[in-house]
Structure 1
Amino acid sequence: MVSTPAARAEDVPDGVPPPPDGPTVNITVVWGDLVEVAADLHVTGHYQSVVPDAAELALDRAISAGPRPLITEHNRLGWIDAQLGEVTYFPCREGPVRAAAVVGMGPMGTLTERRAVQMYASLLGEATALGHVATMATVLIGAGAGNLSVGGAARALVRGFAAALASANPLAPTPRLTEVLVVEVDRLRAEQLLLALTGAAKDQKRLSVTPGLREESGGRLFVPSAAVYALAALSGLVRPAAGGPVPREGAGPPDRAGPSAEEALRTVLAGFEPGIREQVREQLAQLAAVRHTDLTLTVRGPIQAQDDSAPVRMSVQTGPGALRWAALTGGATVPERVALVDTDLLRELVDRLTEPTVEDAQALPEMLSRFVVPTEFQRLLTDDATVLLELDRDTASVPWEFLRDAQQVGGKKPEPLAIRTQLSRQLRTTYARVLTEAPATGELCALVIGDPGDPQQGLDLPGAREEARQVADQLRNLGVTVNLFVGAANSVRKPDEKPARRLDVLRALLCGGNDIVHYCGHSAFDRSGTGRRSGWVFADGLLTAQELGRLDRPPPLIVVANACYTARTGAAEPAGPPDGASLVADHSPWGNAQAALVPSLADEFLCIGVGHYIGSAWRIPDDQGISFAQEFYRHLFRSGPSEDPRTVGAAVRSARKALYEKRAEDDWPDGGQEPQRWSAWAAYQHYGDASDPFVPPADPSDAQKKG
């Protein structure tokens, strides 16, 4: 994989006519599937840190041989910088796609038409400089997700290409690249694209557009386009009777409608009331005067299964007295919006939803959705697709797991979003991930640590011991090799259990090749933000992510930290872990120390390359901690056809749902309900890509059981 420098605004002349002589490029609009069109180089766009979808995902699958698509995996590992105009190349296997690349689009929600001009100028300049590329196939980058209109993206392409050709060195050899194929899979959008490019390039001297569409395999007619063509055809049936104009040649509808056609239309309209029937005929007659390529319809089709739906990615960043939002979905990009919020109100809301009372857990989630989520983003909070929240360290303190569908008014309240769909978090940081790949060993290994705190300081947790033992037994039964450490060296253990000494656990982490790490015990995090005192509490000190940074082998794929008693301080609790490090910080952006606990610890582990960090943000009853872990691993390893797909996000959702459905089973003697039991499902935060597939080396049902 090779990256080129990103484009700069000053590199693109604006409004400067090209000299009369120099390289030229012809643009051909192709109706077909990008990966089935032969070319020397195939290119799509890529937003920073956004999971590939649509054309990029199709290209990813075309060049990938393993279960994890190549571009998706590079994105997960943070190897694609995707600065505006930066081109990243990928190797290809045999087939129509000989060479593949993605061009950076910058952060989602920021691609304006002017920035798109810079991106296209960088792309063409890079492609012509390669020397061996004669034809390049691409899509209309910037319009596929709705960020720009077809016309705006077409103008950006033409202006960017013209700028790149104008800046070419006149003394350099003539570039081989003379043909750019702009591929569109939908027929109507392809015609719209042809019209837009033809109009944008009409005054260009070095750019030409091939008249008419070129048809290749894989082209489709989607529901909106089919509706347009169907309405245009119906309009032709009533045109003679209504006195409408004759369509242009090739438009589709006939010049005249015979008796049989008119009778067919009468049959279609017979079920309508007379007044409505006449209105329909009138509208169809008017529609006949409109060229079908100028029409745009939005038709909502059936909800796709979650494993086939494009994820909804939302970015929430802090600003002065405001939250800055952006969103990217499979059908639309919502550019950045600023939601003004009262910091004091938000601080109180975060505080009351962090380990909330039953009353607050019932009443405040809808307010959270309406108070902090802009209106145009609220409609995206549905169960149609996976939701990925990209957060900074401040917004990560907000308990987003409580989000609900704020669009439904009255009636029965829907389940929280995190119960109805896969919801995960990703931290926006500047760290570099570990640049290694996990070896295919043919078996999964897990490190399980339970109750490593010092009992003499009151840091022993019997429930954590039991959870560690049950998790170890469950993983062994699923075919996983387990290394179990239970209790501090000065505690009482079973004869066959190894004590959880910090040095021994670190050795297992550094040398054990673990795929899963499950920790049950106390945690601490660094109030200074340096990360030096963030980690897990052992009787002989803290085990921090700083020690794990010395990993010379791939870090664990999944870390589950059920540190359910970490985020609570008070007179009845111990003074703190060894060396004076407090169990929680005394400050967070919203005034609640424990709200910042999991984001802080997750950041330390994610920065060394851990793929997924799952932690509890407040105290969880022992039995519910065990229930969450058991359901999480059961789903992760044994997902059946009737369940969500085998992804980490689906396993987290399944475990949350198991706790949610049992939240009111155990009432207090006075008739009330235990707060921690009522909202335990929302305490679990998942940092990582919810759609990341879990691909064990072998089917656990066939694996040899290992002790």
Structure 2
Amino acid sequence: MSSKQRGTKSSDADRWVHDMDWDEFEAQLSRSTRGGKSRAVSDQALRDHFGQEKFDRLKQLAERVRVVRRKREPLRGNIIFIPGIMGSELTVTEDGDDDLIWVSFPRLIWGGIEKLQLTKDGMQEADSQLRVQPSGLDKDSYAEAVLWLKAYWNVEPFAYDWRKDMDKAAEWLKDLVESKYKDQPVHLVAHSMGGLVSRNFIRLYPKVWKAMLEPKKVQGGRLIMLGTPNYGSHAIANAMVAGDKLVRRLAAADLHHNLNEVLEILNGFVGSYQLLPSPTKLLASEQKLYESSMWGRYPIVNAHLQRAKKFHADLEAAVTIDPDRMAYIAGCNQETLAGVRIDGPGQFEFDVTFKGDGRVTHALGLLPGVPTYYVDEIHGDLQKHEQVLEAVDEILRTGKTGALSTEPVAARAVRSMTSARVRAVRDRQDAEQIRQIAEATKADRSTAAERRRAETLLRQAIMVQAPPGSRTATDGATTKTAGGRKKTAPPQEPIALKVEVIHGDIRDIKAPAVVVGHYRAVPPVRAVGALDEALDFWISKAVKRGIIGGGLGEVFLIPSTHKSLAADSVILAGMGEYGRFNREDVDLLFANVTYGVTALGWREFVTVVVGSGEGNLSLEQAIVGMLAGVGSALRRLEGHGQGQLETLRIVEKDKTRFKTIHGLLERIAKNQEGGLKLKVIPREVRERTHRQTKPQPERFDQMEGSRVTIERDRDQFRFAAITKQAVIPVREITVNSSYADGAADLLKESRTLEEQHKYGKLLHSYLMPDDFQDMIDMTPLTLIVDRSTAAFPWEMAAFERHGKVVFYGPGRQATRQFRTTLSGAPGLVAAPIPNRLRVLVIADPAPEADLQLPGAREEGRAVVKILREMKEEQGLDITIEQRIGANECDPVELLALILSEEFDLIHYSGHGDFDEKNPAKSGWIFGKDNILSAREIFRARRVPRLIFANACFSGVIRSGTPFTLQESNRNLAGLAQAFFERGVQNYIGTGWPVDDAAALEFARVFYTEALFGDELGISLSKAREAIITRGSTWGAYQHYGQATATLVAKSQKKPACEQ
């Protein structure tokens, strides 16, 4: 079976849409809006091809054409619409059969791109038996533009072979004009490379261009360029070294060629070389782009490089720039490659700017003297943007437009550059998705929606379009860019800023506001910790209660009236999750801080060097980022009537770091980096008073030990860590999931301590990155997990220390928290009273015989007994409500009890259920048809400080079959998270069914220790140690919450279990 036959079933709708000419296409869509016998069939084919949302949009445009044309008014004139590179469909004729290759996902799967390969000279097909010809515009990319213009204009879409020399495309354009519009006026509207084709046509055939002019220029004679790379694009060079997502996605779709083979085919297209940056626009160090030897191992054709060089020279020498007849529409505020550093053969490092449309910078797109308009849009969607289309219509009629700005528009919000790491991860995920759909399509298992998704991902990369739902995305300030060089953009007047670098304590600096960085859900330490103490630990309270988020770029203002703090207020600048903070994030942070400070009318603020702690950014990186953020914000605020920042104060307590910071600022000031004219003033502030450490009025989650965030994407795990002293940035490791899952399963089933040692060490050494293993100590460990990584029994992971095996659970007091609700939901937690405790014990509440758990009843009674003993022994004020067995567990009565009382502790022993589709309905089973959910339980005025739930996820309710270890652990995590989202701060549960006798002993030791005032982490550690020789039950207990939390005040007496 041929590849063409294989793909027929999956591409019938695509072929039907492709084969329609534009009049038929418009008629089909218009018929769809009015009904008709064939409507259902055509509608479904169009819907399959475009998807419902775009299908509806195209129907509206087609109806607009019909309504306007029904008035029978004369058309305004003629337009030839010219697409950009790769925007023309290419059809291959072989043995008399025509086959659409570009862009057809089913054809690309079977290696169809090989049919597009050219000979070395770039003139002919590599396979002489094939004939490749342009067969139309890609309707997915250009249907909106053509339909919009068709309402008032006679539109002729012009397809060309973008692989070949643009001289050939210009010749074809000349033939079209002479054959169809001879002696008639006609306009050109060109997207991307189409603008270069147009200007090359003007260069080669000036008489034809002159003949297209109508004296008033209304009916013809204009050229409007949308995002044309008039002087090339650095993105093309990036694609030629496989750095662009286009190449990787094409290789992912192609099941017959690898990345290098796909790249070799693409790098044989001479048309692409003609889009390289013009030599006249390159810096001296960048001129090596035109030397084939500097491309290293990448397949580059030297003859094409030389042809591109001559093409740019010819185009710039000829009179192809006519401001009276031309206009340019530029996208802006999109991350765009803007310069290149060549470190060696094939080693290219690209700069990035927001002064571009995502593919073409303003420096390489705009033509001198040509009227230019700006829109906040990405390159591949310019021709779809309604304001752009309105502007095109108006420019064609009048030569100008009020629909678009004549200056680069301000972005709607500040956004940092996407880091190379983030881009790589996103691109890899998209490529993997394409590969999976390709393999499913090959096996005839993919759906129409999946194939459309894959083709959409391909088209986004090919045309440089925004992902669905993200068009006109917000952006932020520019970092170091080519756009800022004198050669490519006029220099802006630097903004004056006084910078005081101060040796002293941040608490002693008088200012309207003092700024410090804050990681999401991390307790205050270092500078934040000092300010927290000065504010009587208000920051700790706010973090605990979920008032402060700490998301990247969030700015939180805390007014201060405390005498121990000289500043009037504190600004917490959110740094996001630890291990991910980078140079670009500093820009965003300080731009947002500057916006906030100036909006309040303040002209100065004080800050530490945010992000420069051990293991994070260097001092230079952090300072340059801070200044870039401040500078970009001030630049955007110019002329908007908002206050101006006059002074930035940077404070450092350490004398050595202070000197280093001063030196760096002096150097930056001398070079006038970042568009700022700095005046650097060093000074020293003596400590105002001798300070004594204040005792905390209540217990907070403290930054003790280390915190490790764990994420998983199939076989790839990502780890990040933070301690009081340092941050370890994200590390990625790729594993064989079957080994990791196998170690987890064997740990659950282990019966002896020796087995647990063996498989626990395997789990630790196989998954934990090497540099994370180096930071191992005996301090408490907090694991930040999601439902995927929560599936592993981390408490049973083990390592050797001084010849002894140490488990995470008992040895390091392992506690878990959630990535998605790191700060916890703001909730009213039962107020702690030192020696008063209200407890509710619920055990074995289900009436059905197959749901009853005798061991649960025994556990419930044992817990009540322990609580009563501790009440007498410690003299605690403990009130106990017990509901044991179905007769005492009426759900309505229990719900009323919970809503009317304020319990500090709820202990539950019975069956649990987690509903993945509706987590809020997850909860405890009171019968086959009765689940008391987290949402229902905690409509209470206050939620308990601790839930201890030995809830067995047996699967009897849903499937009748036992859950696997992975399912059971994920269910526990999901249920715990459902309670956390109701405001609960500590949840202890079991990841798999436990031994009844061991569970009783665990509960006895835990409650004994906790009611003597020990922290929950310590109490759990001792309880695990007590049953560690009784199989794997000890590893089933998982604590989600704060290891340092307590139930009662610390007692001076010794627990009976330790006497």
- 1:333 maps to a residue whose letter is V
Of residues 528-537 and 325-334 in structure 1, the stretch that sits farther from structure 2 once superposed is 528-537
Equivalent position to 1:457, from 830, 833, 850: 850
CA distance in 1 between counterparts of 2:706 and 2:605 reads 30
The change in CA–CA distance for 1:622 and 1:173 in structure 2 (over 3 A counts) is closer
2:766 paired with 1:398? no
Partner of 2:950 in structure 1? 562
Residue number in structure 2 paired with 1:679 = 1032
What secondary structure, in the 3-state scheme, does the structure 2 residue paired with 1:210 have? Answer: strand
1:415 maps to 806
Partner of 2:667: 199
Would the alpha carbon gap of residues 516 and 474 (structure 1) be closer, same or farther in structure 2, given more than 3 Å must change?
A: farther
RMSD: 3.3
User: Is 2:694 the partner of 1:694?
Assistant: no
2:763 aligned partner, one-letter code: L
For residues 46 and 556 of structure 1, the distance between their equivalents in structure 2, rounded to whole angstroms, comes to 28
2:578 corresponds to: 108
- 2:620·2:664 contact (CA, 8 Å) conserved in 1? yes
Q: CA deviation at 1:19?
A: 4.3
- Residue 429 (str. 1) matches residue 820 (str. 2): yes
Counterpart amino acid of 2:781?
V
- Shift, 1:58, TM fit: 1.7
> Which of the numbers 933, 939, 950 marks the counterpart of 1:544?
933
Do the aligned partners of 1:48 and 1:107 also contact (CA within 8 Å) in 2?
Answer: yes
The 2-side partners of 1:583 and 1:506 are apart by 28
1:145·1:328 contact (CA, 8 Å) conserved in 2? no
Q: Tell me the CA shift for residue 371 of structure 1.
A: 0.6
Match of 2:1003 in 1: 629
1:432, CA displacement in angstroms?
9.2
The verdict on how the C-alpha distance between 1:469 and 1:636 changes in structure 2, with shifts beyond 3 A counting, is closer
1:114-136: CA deviations, max 9, x gaps? 221221222122212211x3442
Q: Is the 8 A contact 2:953 2:963 kept in 1?
A: no
1:60-107, CA deviations, whole angstroms, 9 ceiling, x for partnerless residues?
A: 22113xxxx322333233333333222012243322242112111122
Give 1:181 shift: 2.4
DSSP-derived class of the 1:12 partner = coil
Partner residue in 1 for 2:909: 520
Structure 1, unaligned runs of 5 or more: 221-305, 491-498, 570-575, 640-645, 664-676, 703-707
Q: 1:524·1:584 contact (CA, 8 Å) conserved in 2?
A: no
Higher-RCO chain (CA-CA 8 Å, sequence separation at least 6): 1
1:12 to 477, 497, 521: 477
SS in 1 for 2:546: coil
Higher helix share goes to which structure? Answer: 2
1:316 to partner: Cα distance = 0.8
Residue in 2 aligned with 1:268? none
How far did 1:25 drift?
3.0
Does the 8 Å CA contact 2:613/2:727 hold for their aligned counterparts? no
Mapping of residues 566-645 of structure 1, within 5 Å: 566-567=952-953, 576=956, 580-581=957-958, 586=963, 592-639=966-1013
Shift of 1:425: 0.6
Task: Rate the CA distance shift 1:432–1:187 in 2: closer, same or farther, 3 A.
Answer: closer
Q: What is the match of residue 186 of structure 1?
A: 654
Q: SS where residue 1039 of structure 2 aligns?
A: strand
* Aligned counterpart, 2:723: 329
2:850 aligned partner, one-letter code: Q
- The 2-side partners of 1:362 and 1:158 are apart by 52
From 603, 607, 610, give the equivalent of 1:138.
607
Aligned 1:10-49 pairs, distance under 5 A: 10-15=475-480, 16=484, 19-20=492-493, 24-49=496-521
SS for the counterpart of 1:521 is: strand
Q: Secondary structure at the match of 1:562?
A: strand
1:303 is matched with: none
Structure 1 counterpart SS, 2:921: coil
Please state whether the residue corresponding to 1:111 is helix, strand or coil.
coil
Q: Which residue is equivalent to 1:265?
A: none
Question: Which residue identity is paired with 1:340?
Answer: T
* C-alpha separation in 2, matches of 1:92 and 1:659: 50
Does the CA-based 8 Å contact 1:584-1:597 persist in structure 2? no
Q: Secondary structure at the match of 1:162?
A: helix
Query: Contact between 1:43 and 1:139, CA under 8 Å: does it hold in 2?
Result: yes
> After the TM superposition, which of the residue ranges 96-105 and 12-21 deviates more from structure 2?
12-21
Q: Does the aligned pair in 2 maintain the 1:27–1:207 contact within 8 Å?
A: no
The aligned residue for residue 263 of structure 1 is none
Question: Aligned partner of 1:61: which letter?
Answer: E
Alignment partners' CA distance in 1, 2:756 and 2:969: 15
1:149, distance to aligned residue in structure 2 (A): 0.9
In the alignment, which residue of structure 2 is the partner of 1:371? 766
CA-CA distance at 1:387 after TM superposition: 1.6
Q: What is the DSSP-based 3-state SS (H/G/I as helix, E as strand, rest coil) of the residue aligned with 1:141?
A: coil
Matched, 1:504 2:886: no
Q: Is the 8 A contact 2:499 2:650 kept in 1?
A: yes
Amino acid across the alignment from 1:427: F
Superposition deviation, residue 44 in structure 1: 1.0
Q: Distance in 1 between matches of 2:688 and 2:960?
A: 58
SS in 2 for 1:336: strand
434 and 149 in structure 1: CA distance in 2 versus 1, 3 angstrom threshold: closer
Work out the CA distance in 2 between the residues paired with 1:167 and 1:470.
68
Amino acid paired to 1:450: A
- The aligned amino acid for 2:733 is A
| Residue 63 of structure 1 pairs with residue 522 of structure 2 | no
Instruction: Give 1:474 shift.
Output: 4.4
Secondary structure of residue in 2 paired with 1:140:
coil
Mapped to 2, the partners of 1:632 and 1:26 lie a distance apart of 58
SS in structure 2 at match of 1:202: helix
Query: 1: distance between equivalents of 2:716 and 2:975?
Result: 25
1:351 is aligned to: 745
Name 2:588's counterpart in structure 1.
118
| Cα distance between partner residues in 1 of 2:637 and 2:1006 | 57
* 1:605 alignment partner, SS class: helix
Q: Which residue of 2 aligns with 1:483?
A: 880
Whole-angstrom distance in 2 between the partners of 1:694 and 1:39: 38
Give the distance between the partners of 1:106 and 1:60, measured in 2 at CA: 19
Structure 2: which amino acid aligns with 1:153? A
Deviations 1:363-407 (A, max 9, x none): 111111111111111123321x3221111101101000122236x
Tell me the secondary structure at the aligned position of residue 100 of structure 1. Answer: strand
Q: Which amino acid aligns with 2:985?
A: G
Contact 2:701 2:1042 in 1 (8 A): no
Q: Shift in Å at residue 320 of structure 1?
A: 3.3
CA contact 1:525–1:597 (8 Å) conserved in 2: yes
Asked whether the equivalents of residues 424 and 688 of structure 1 are also in contact (C-alpha less than 8 Å), the reply is yes
Residue 253 of structure 1 is matched in structure 2 by none
Return the alpha-carbon distance in structure 1 between the equivalents of residues 912 and 738 of structure 2.
28
Classify the secondary structure of the residue corresponding to 2:478: coil
Percent of aligned pairs sharing the same letter: 26
- Which among 921, 929, 934 is matched to residue 532 of structure 1? 921
* Per-residue deviation, 1:419: 2.0
Report the 3-state secondary structure (helix = DSSP H, G, I; strand = E; otherwise coil) of the residue aligned with 1:324: strand
Cα distance between partner residues in 1 of 2:549 and 2:892:
36
Residue identity matched to 1:486: R
* Distance in 1, Cα, partners of 2:549 & 2:413: 10
Q: Describe the superposition over 1:218-253 as per-residue Cα deviations: whole angstroms up to 9, x where unpaired.
A: 899xxxxxxxxxxxxxxxxxxxxxxxxxxxxxxxxx
- Structure 1 CA distance for aligned equivalents of residues 925 and 818 of structure 2: 20
Q: Is the 8 A contact 1:557 1:610 kept in 2?
A: yes
Give CA-to-partner distance per residue, 1:640-692, whole Å, 9 cap, x none: xxxxxx533233233333434xx3xxxxxxxxxxxxx133332211101223x
| Equivalent AA in structure 2 for residue 197 of structure 1 | L
Displacement of 1:541 in angstroms is: 2.7
Q: How many residues align?
A: 557
Q: Which moved more, 1:88-97 or 1:397-406?
A: 88-97
- Contact 2:785–2:816, Cα closer than 8 Å, also in 1: yes
Amino acid at match of 1:618: W
Secondary structure of the 1:463 match is helix
1:393 match: secondary structure: coil
Q: Secondary structure at the match of 2:479?
A: coil
In 2: Cα distance, 1:415 partner to 1:218 partner = 46
CA distance in 1, matches of 2:977, 2:722: 23
Q: Does 1:157 align with 2:157?
A: no
1:655 maps to 1023
Tell which deviates more after alignment, 116-125 or 542-551: 542-551
Q: What SS does the corresponding residue of 1:452 show, helix, strand or coil?
A: coil
